[in-house]
Amino acid sequence: MICVNELSPGELAALLHFHAEAGVEWLLEEEAVDRFAEFEAMKAAKRSAASSPQATEARETSARPAVQATQRNAPASERAALRPQPSIPDGEAVQQARFAAESARSLPELKTAIEAFNGCNLKHSARSTIVASGDAASGIMVIGSAPGADDDREGQPFAGRPGQLLDKMLAAIGLQRDAIVLTQVIPWRPPGNRIASTAEMDICRPFIERQIALAGPKAILVLGNFAARVFFGETDTIHGLRGQWREIAVVNRIVPAIATLHPQDLLTAPVNKRLAWNDLLAFQAKLAAL
Protein backbone atom coordinates (compact mmCIF):
# COMPACT_ATOMS: atom_id res chain seq x y z
CA MET A 1 0.00 0.00 0.00
CA ILE A 2 1.24 3.49 -0.86
CA CYS A 3 1.39 5.95 2.02
CA VAL A 4 0.98 9.53 0.90
CA ASN A 5 2.96 10.82 3.84
CA GLU A 6 6.05 9.08 2.44
CA LEU A 7 5.78 10.67 -1.02
CA SER A 8 7.46 13.86 -2.14
CA PRO A 9 5.30 16.55 -3.81
CA GLY A 10 6.66 15.53 -7.21
CA GLU A 11 5.92 11.83 -6.60
CA LEU A 12 2.43 12.64 -5.37
CA ALA A 13 1.74 14.76 -8.45
CA ALA A 14 2.95 11.95 -10.69
CA LEU A 15 0.72 9.45 -8.88
CA LEU A 16 -2.34 11.68 -9.23
CA HIS A 17 -1.57 12.18 -12.92
CA PHE A 18 -1.30 8.39 -13.36
CA HIS A 19 -4.72 7.87 -11.74
CA ALA A 20 -6.23 10.62 -13.91
CA GLU A 21 -4.84 9.01 -17.08
CA ALA A 22 -6.31 5.67 -15.95
CA GLY A 23 -9.75 7.25 -15.66
CA VAL A 24 -9.93 7.49 -11.85
CA GLU A 25 -12.15 10.45 -11.03
CA TRP A 26 -13.26 9.79 -7.43
CA LEU A 27 -10.89 8.94 -4.62
CA LEU A 28 -13.35 9.00 -1.71
CA GLU A 29 -17.08 8.52 -1.27
CA GLU A 30 -19.34 10.17 1.25
CA GLU A 31 -19.96 6.87 3.07
CA ALA A 32 -17.89 3.72 3.36
CA VAL A 33 -18.84 0.90 0.99
CA ASP A 34 -17.86 -2.71 1.61
CA ARG A 35 -16.67 -3.80 -1.85
CA PHE A 36 -15.82 -7.29 -0.58
CA ALA A 37 -19.42 -7.76 0.52
CA GLU A 38 -20.60 -6.52 -2.85
CA PHE A 39 -18.41 -9.06 -4.63
CA GLU A 40 -19.67 -11.90 -2.46
CA ALA A 41 -23.25 -10.79 -3.14
CA MET A 42 -22.57 -10.86 -6.88
CA LYS A 43 -21.19 -14.41 -6.67
CA ALA A 44 -24.17 -15.51 -4.63
CA ALA A 45 -26.54 -14.00 -7.16
CA LYS A 46 -24.87 -15.92 -9.98
CA ARG A 47 -25.06 -19.22 -8.05
CA SER A 48 -28.74 -18.67 -7.41
CA ALA A 49 -29.53 -18.15 -11.10
CA ALA A 50 -30.05 -21.91 -11.58
CA SER A 51 -32.14 -22.37 -8.45
CA SER A 52 -35.93 -22.11 -8.09
CA PRO A 53 -37.72 -18.84 -9.00
CA GLN A 54 -39.00 -18.54 -5.43
CA ALA A 55 -35.51 -18.77 -3.94
CA THR A 56 -34.12 -16.37 -6.53
CA GLU A 57 -36.85 -13.84 -5.80
CA ALA A 58 -36.20 -14.10 -2.06
CA ARG A 59 -32.47 -13.50 -2.50
CA GLU A 60 -33.05 -10.54 -4.80
CA THR A 61 -35.48 -9.06 -2.27
CA SER A 62 -32.99 -9.38 0.58
CA ALA A 63 -30.14 -7.95 -1.49
CA ARG A 64 -32.11 -5.00 -2.89
CA PRO A 65 -31.65 -2.66 0.13
CA ALA A 66 -27.86 -3.10 0.00
CA VAL A 67 -27.77 -2.48 -3.74
CA GLN A 68 -29.98 0.58 -3.41
CA ALA A 69 -27.76 1.92 -0.63
CA THR A 70 -24.69 1.40 -2.80
CA GLN A 71 -26.33 3.27 -5.68
CA ARG A 72 -27.32 6.14 -3.39
CA ASN A 73 -23.76 6.41 -2.05
CA ALA A 74 -22.12 6.30 -5.48
CA PRO A 75 -20.99 9.54 -7.18
CA ALA A 76 -23.38 11.08 -9.68
CA SER A 77 -21.36 9.83 -12.69
CA GLU A 78 -21.46 6.24 -11.37
CA ARG A 79 -25.19 6.45 -10.60
CA ALA A 80 -25.81 7.49 -14.19
CA ALA A 81 -23.86 4.48 -15.42
CA LEU A 82 -25.89 2.17 -13.13
CA ARG A 83 -29.18 3.22 -14.67
CA PRO A 84 -30.51 0.73 -17.25
CA GLN A 85 -29.77 1.96 -20.75
CA PRO A 86 -31.86 1.27 -23.84
CA SER A 87 -30.64 -1.70 -25.84
CA ILE A 88 -30.57 -0.96 -29.56
CA PRO A 89 -29.44 -3.60 -32.08
CA ASP A 90 -26.25 -2.50 -33.82
CA GLY A 91 -27.85 -2.37 -37.27
CA GLU A 92 -30.69 -0.20 -36.02
CA ALA A 93 -28.26 2.04 -34.12
CA VAL A 94 -26.24 2.61 -37.29
CA GLN A 95 -29.38 3.61 -39.17
CA GLN A 96 -30.39 6.00 -36.39
CA ALA A 97 -26.88 7.50 -36.32
CA ARG A 98 -26.93 7.99 -40.08
CA PHE A 99 -30.34 9.69 -39.93
CA ALA A 100 -29.27 11.96 -37.05
CA ALA A 101 -26.03 12.91 -38.85
CA GLU A 102 -27.64 13.62 -42.21
CA SER A 103 -30.34 15.75 -40.58
CA ALA A 104 -27.75 18.23 -39.24
CA ARG A 105 -27.06 21.23 -41.46
CA SER A 106 -24.20 22.72 -39.43
CA LEU A 107 -21.56 21.59 -36.96
CA PRO A 108 -23.50 23.06 -33.97
CA GLU A 109 -26.62 21.19 -35.11
CA LEU A 110 -24.58 18.02 -35.48
CA LYS A 111 -23.21 18.37 -31.95
CA THR A 112 -26.75 18.71 -30.62
CA ALA A 113 -27.80 15.62 -32.56
CA ILE A 114 -24.86 13.57 -31.27
CA GLU A 115 -25.47 14.66 -27.68
CA ALA A 116 -29.09 13.49 -28.01
CA PHE A 117 -28.12 10.15 -29.57
CA ASN A 118 -28.35 7.14 -27.21
CA GLY A 119 -27.55 4.30 -29.57
CA CYS A 120 -23.86 3.89 -28.64
CA ASN A 121 -22.87 2.40 -25.29
CA LEU A 122 -19.74 4.57 -25.18
CA LYS A 123 -21.88 7.61 -24.45
CA HIS A 124 -23.15 6.16 -21.18
CA SER A 125 -19.69 5.95 -19.60
CA ALA A 126 -18.34 9.26 -20.95
CA ARG A 127 -18.63 12.67 -19.37
CA SER A 128 -18.40 14.77 -22.54
CA THR A 129 -19.33 14.58 -26.20
CA ILE A 130 -16.38 15.63 -28.36
CA VAL A 131 -17.28 17.16 -31.73
CA ALA A 132 -15.38 19.28 -34.25
CA SER A 133 -14.29 22.68 -32.96
CA GLY A 134 -12.40 25.55 -34.57
CA ASP A 135 -12.61 27.49 -37.83
CA ALA A 136 -14.05 25.50 -40.74
CA ALA A 137 -13.25 28.37 -43.12
CA SER A 138 -9.57 27.42 -42.89
CA GLY A 139 -10.07 24.30 -44.98
CA ILE A 140 -7.74 22.40 -42.62
CA MET A 141 -8.86 19.50 -40.42
CA VAL A 142 -6.98 17.42 -37.84
CA ILE A 143 -8.63 14.19 -36.70
CA GLY A 144 -7.48 12.04 -33.78
CA SER A 145 -8.43 8.52 -32.77
CA ALA A 146 -10.63 8.97 -29.69
CA PRO A 147 -11.02 11.30 -26.70
CA GLY A 148 -8.66 10.71 -23.81
CA ALA A 149 -9.17 11.35 -20.11
CA ASP A 150 -8.25 15.04 -20.44
CA ASP A 151 -10.53 15.50 -23.45
CA ASP A 152 -13.43 13.90 -21.61
CA ARG A 153 -12.80 15.98 -18.52
CA GLU A 154 -12.44 19.32 -20.34
CA GLY A 155 -14.99 18.67 -23.10
CA GLN A 156 -12.70 19.52 -26.02
CA PRO A 157 -10.46 17.57 -28.40
CA PHE A 158 -6.73 17.30 -27.73
CA ALA A 159 -6.62 18.56 -24.16
CA GLY A 160 -3.90 17.99 -21.55
CA ARG A 161 -0.29 17.13 -22.41
CA PRO A 162 -1.08 15.59 -25.84
CA GLY A 163 -2.96 18.77 -26.72
CA GLN A 164 -0.07 20.95 -25.62
CA LEU A 165 2.31 18.94 -27.79
CA LEU A 166 -0.11 19.14 -30.72
CA ASP A 167 -0.21 22.93 -30.34
CA LYS A 168 3.59 22.98 -30.66
CA MET A 169 3.48 20.68 -33.68
CA LEU A 170 0.94 22.91 -35.41
CA ALA A 171 2.83 26.08 -34.52
CA ALA A 172 5.96 24.60 -36.11
CA ILE A 173 4.21 24.68 -39.50
CA GLY A 174 2.46 28.01 -38.91
CA LEU A 175 -0.93 26.77 -37.68
CA GLN A 176 -3.00 27.43 -34.54
CA ARG A 177 -5.73 25.23 -33.12
CA ASP A 178 -8.34 28.02 -33.13
CA ALA A 179 -7.71 28.66 -36.83
CA ILE A 180 -8.32 25.06 -37.99
CA VAL A 181 -10.81 22.27 -37.20
CA LEU A 182 -9.95 19.66 -34.55
CA THR A 183 -11.99 16.56 -33.80
CA GLN A 184 -11.84 12.84 -32.97
CA VAL A 185 -13.06 9.78 -34.87
CA ILE A 186 -15.11 8.71 -31.82
CA PRO A 187 -17.16 11.40 -30.01
CA TRP A 188 -17.00 9.63 -26.62
CA ARG A 189 -14.08 8.36 -24.60
CA PRO A 190 -13.99 4.54 -24.45
CA PRO A 191 -13.72 3.33 -20.82
CA GLY A 192 -10.09 3.03 -19.74
CA ASN A 193 -8.98 4.41 -23.12
CA ARG A 194 -9.59 1.01 -24.73
CA ILE A 195 -9.93 0.73 -28.51
CA ALA A 196 -13.48 1.10 -29.77
CA SER A 197 -15.04 -2.11 -31.08
CA THR A 198 -16.01 -2.60 -34.71
CA ALA A 199 -19.69 -2.24 -33.82
CA GLU A 200 -19.01 0.99 -31.89
CA MET A 201 -17.04 2.41 -34.82
CA ASP A 202 -19.79 1.47 -37.27
CA ILE A 203 -22.27 3.41 -35.13
CA CYS A 204 -19.98 6.44 -34.85
CA ARG A 205 -18.84 6.48 -38.48
CA PRO A 206 -21.80 8.57 -39.78
CA PHE A 207 -20.94 11.25 -37.22
CA ILE A 208 -17.30 11.69 -38.22
CA GLU A 209 -18.16 11.53 -41.92
CA ARG A 210 -20.80 14.23 -41.42
CA GLN A 211 -18.30 16.39 -39.52
CA ILE A 212 -15.94 16.19 -42.50
CA ALA A 213 -18.77 16.97 -44.93
CA LEU A 214 -19.91 20.01 -42.94
CA ALA A 215 -16.39 21.32 -42.29
CA GLY A 216 -15.44 20.92 -45.95
CA PRO A 217 -11.65 20.62 -45.47
CA LYS A 218 -9.18 20.87 -48.35
CA ALA A 219 -6.75 18.55 -46.55
CA ILE A 220 -6.86 16.32 -43.46
CA LEU A 221 -4.14 15.38 -40.98
CA VAL A 222 -4.95 12.02 -39.37
CA LEU A 223 -3.37 11.22 -36.01
CA GLY A 224 -2.77 7.74 -34.65
CA ASN A 225 -3.25 4.05 -35.47
CA PHE A 226 -6.99 3.79 -34.98
CA ALA A 227 -7.96 6.87 -36.97
CA ALA A 228 -5.64 5.91 -39.85
CA ARG A 229 -7.11 2.41 -40.00
CA VAL A 230 -10.66 3.78 -39.96
CA PHE A 231 -10.07 6.10 -42.91
CA PHE A 232 -7.61 4.04 -44.94
CA GLY A 233 -9.24 0.65 -44.41
CA GLU A 234 -5.98 -1.12 -43.56
CA THR A 235 -4.69 -2.97 -40.52
CA ASP A 236 -1.06 -1.84 -40.59
CA THR A 237 0.43 0.18 -37.72
CA ILE A 238 0.81 3.94 -37.91
CA HIS A 239 4.47 3.42 -38.89
CA GLY A 240 3.29 1.71 -42.06
CA LEU A 241 0.43 4.11 -42.74
CA ARG A 242 2.11 7.44 -42.01
CA GLY A 243 3.74 9.79 -44.48
CA GLN A 244 1.71 8.70 -47.51
CA TRP A 245 -0.98 10.82 -49.13
CA ARG A 246 -4.29 9.01 -49.41
CA GLU A 247 -7.85 10.02 -50.28
CA ILE A 248 -10.89 10.10 -48.02
CA ALA A 249 -14.24 9.92 -49.82
CA VAL A 250 -17.08 11.72 -48.04
CA VAL A 251 -20.45 12.19 -49.77
CA ASN A 252 -19.47 13.55 -53.21
CA ARG A 253 -16.07 14.90 -52.18
CA ILE A 254 -12.58 13.44 -52.22
CA VAL A 255 -10.26 14.93 -49.59
CA PRO A 256 -6.48 14.34 -49.54
CA ALA A 257 -5.25 13.05 -46.20
CA ILE A 258 -1.95 12.11 -44.59
CA ALA A 259 -1.44 10.25 -41.33
CA THR A 260 1.20 10.70 -38.66
CA LEU A 261 1.85 9.64 -35.09
CA HIS A 262 -0.53 10.82 -32.39
CA PRO A 263 0.93 13.30 -29.86
CA GLN A 264 0.39 10.69 -27.14
CA ASP A 265 2.60 8.29 -29.11
CA LEU A 266 5.29 10.97 -29.27
CA LEU A 267 5.09 11.57 -25.53
CA THR A 268 5.65 7.85 -25.02
CA ALA A 269 8.42 7.56 -27.62
CA PRO A 270 10.00 10.99 -28.28
CA VAL A 271 12.49 9.42 -30.69
CA ASN A 272 9.68 9.26 -33.26
CA LYS A 273 9.29 13.03 -33.36
CA ARG A 274 11.57 13.15 -36.39
CA LEU A 275 9.07 10.98 -38.29
CA ALA A 276 6.18 13.23 -37.30
CA TRP A 277 8.18 16.29 -38.33
CA ASN A 278 8.64 14.90 -41.85
CA ASP A 279 4.89 14.28 -42.06
CA LEU A 280 4.13 17.79 -40.85
CA LEU A 281 6.41 19.25 -43.51
CA ALA A 282 4.58 17.20 -46.15
CA PHE A 283 1.26 18.49 -44.80
CA GLN A 284 2.54 22.07 -44.87
CA ALA A 285 3.71 21.68 -48.48
CA LYS A 286 0.35 20.27 -49.49
CA LEU A 287 -1.51 23.20 -47.93
CA ALA A 288 0.75 25.65 -49.75
CA ALA A 289 0.00 23.94 -53.06
CA LEU A 290 -3.80 23.97 -52.64
pLDDT in tens, 179-191: 999 999 999 999 9
The predicted structure's pLDDT at residue 252: 82
What are the boundaries of each domain within the chain?
90-288
Per-residue pLDDT of the chain (290 residues; tens, 9 = 90+): 455 566 677 666 666 665 555 555 545 555 666 666 766 777 777 676 656 555 545 454 554 555 455 455 555 545 444 444 445 668 899 999 999 999 999 999 999 999 999 999 999 999 999 999 999 999 999 999 999 999 999 999 999 999 999 999 999 999 999 999 999 999 999 999 999 999 999 999 999 999 999 999 999 999 999 999 999 998 899 999 999 999 999 888 899 999 999 999 999 999 999 999 999 999 999 999 99
- CA–chain centroid gap for 49, Å, is 35
pLDDT, position 54: 56
Under CATH, what is the fold of the domain 90-288?
Uracil-DNA Glycosylase, subunit E (3.40.470)
Structure confidence by residue, pLDDT tens digits, 147-181: 999 999 999 999 999 999 999 999 999 999 999 99
Evaluate whether 223 touches 283 at the Cβ level (below 8 Å).
no
What angle is formed at CA 123 by the lines to CA 224 and CA 220, rounded to 5 degrees?
30
Residue 253: its pLDDT value, please? 87
What is the structure's pLDDT at 80? 46
Q: Are strands 246-250 and 140-144 parallel, antiparallel or unpaired?
A: unpaired
Q: What pLDDT is attached to residue 67?
A: 43
Listed in sequence order, the residues at least 6 apart from 58 whose beta carbon sits closer than 8 Å to its beta carbon are: none
Q: For the chain, count helices (H), then strands (E).
A: 13, 6
Residue-level pLDDT at 109: 96
pTM equals 0.70
Predicted pLDDT of residue 82 = 43
State the Cα–Cα distance between residues 202 and 230, nearest whole angstrom. Answer: 10
For 181, the enclosing helix (H) or strand (E) is: strand 181-184
